[in-house]
């Protein structure tokens, strides 16, 4: 499968359909991250609540983002303390990240323009959301390349030769060494 998703389709397919059904892991890479809300059983809920539910089910969540999230996101994260203390939830920052990708269980992935924000991947209305595009795919070769690349980024393989260290508040490689 190789499908173009536009605007609201990203939210409907990736965030509403595939992420909640994850069985082993969800890896999210985004430049910008905000306190995104999604439709839940009882109205709108924080996307972090969806991730907390996944973690409670034993699904590993890896979130790589470019800059420190704002106070609203940090406040929401604190509400779900199990995420801050859980081995299955990994949150790292790399200021060079500009990629926007979601990989679910190593079986399906989305790569596109949408950040992990309400206007990007969230439930905003069509008149308030960003214009976004991306591709949903399950090609094994492409999935393997993408997951290997994300894993290399996550473990800090790019930190040694990085020439932007002065902009990095907590280099990934330093986190791995401690």
Q: What average pLDDT is seen over the chain?
A: 91
* 123-145 tens-digit pLDDT: 888 899 999 999 999 999 999 99
Q: Are 83 and 52 in contact (CB under 8 A)?
A: yes
Q: pLDDT value at position 173?
A: 64
* 99-115 tens-digit pLDDT: 999 999 999 999 999 99
Q: Which helix (H) or strand (E) holds 30?
A: strand 25-30
Q: Are 37 and 45 in contact (CB under 8 A)?
A: yes
Tokens (6 digits) for 121: 């991947």
> At 178, is the pLDDT very low, low, confident or very high (cuts 50, 70, 90)?
low
Cα(15)–Cα(12) distance, rounded to whole angstroms? 6
The residue among 32 and 161 whose pLDDT is bigger is: 32
What the chain holds in terms of domains, given with CATH numbers, is 2-177 (3.30.870.10)
Q: pLDDT value at position 155?
A: 87
> CA torsion angle for 34, 35, 38, 43 (degrees, to 10)?
-160
Q: pLDDT value at position 176?
A: 54
Tokens (6 digits) for 91: 């949150």
């Amino acid at each position: 499968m190789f499908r173009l998703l536009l605007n609201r389709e990203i939210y409907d397919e990736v965030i509403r359909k595939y992420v909640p059904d994850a069985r082993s892991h969800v890896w999210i890479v985004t430049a910008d991250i905000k306190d995104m809300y999604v439709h839940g059983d009882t109205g709108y809920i924080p996307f972090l609540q969806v991730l907390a539910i996944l973690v409670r089910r034993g699904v590993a969540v890896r979130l790589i983002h470019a800059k420190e999230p704002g106070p609203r996101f940090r406040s929401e994260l604190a509400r779900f303390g199990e995420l801050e203390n859980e081995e299955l939830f990994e949150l790292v920052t790399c200021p060079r990240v500009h990629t926007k990708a979601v990989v679910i269980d190593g079986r399906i992935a989305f790569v596109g323009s949408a950040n992990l924000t309400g206007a990007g991947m969230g439930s905003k209305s069509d008149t308030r959301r960003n214009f976004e595009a991306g591709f949903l795919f399950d090609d094994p070769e492409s999935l393997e390349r993408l997951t290997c690349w994300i894993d290399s980024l996550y473990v800090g393989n790019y930190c040694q030769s990085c020439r932007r260290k002065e902009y990095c508040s907590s280099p990934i490689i330093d986190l791995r060494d401690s």
